Amino acid sequence: MTEDQKIASMKAIQERIPSGEMFCPLCKTNRWTVQGDGLIVHTVQRDYPIKMNVGGQTLPCLALICQNCGNTHFLNIFILGIAEIFGFDLKTKEAK
């Protein structure tokens, strides 16, 4: 993740927090970092045995990580409005 992507990511997250401060629900600190260089969450099939559906639906995300306790949240970059800076086409929602 480039520094520009990191700054844009944190700005997009902070704009969606009503109070402007993000406190970790586990440890109550507000020290966060983002990681998202190529982070894709894959869906899985509900059949037994559970299998990863390679080539199936994916959710391009970044991880918001508490720097104190490691609590991690996955945030969709399309919902945050920052997918384009990560190389996704906004119309097709595919990587360029």
Evaluate if residue 31 carries a pLDDT over 90: yes
**CB-CB contact of 28 with 73 (8 Å):** no
Residue 30 to residues 7, 17, 67, 70, 76, Cα–Cα distance (Å): 16, 12, 9, 12, 21
Say which DSSP state 85 is in. Answer: G
Residues 12-33 have a mean pLDDT of: 90
State residue 26's pLDDT score. Answer: 97
State residue 86's pLDDT score. Answer: 87
What gap in Å lies between CA 93 and CA 62, rounded to an integer?
Answer: 16
The per-residue pLDDT for range 51-63, each reduced to its tens digit, is 666 666 677 889 9
- Domain borders along the chain are 3-86
What gap in Å lies between CA 58 and CA 12, rounded to an integer?
Answer: 21
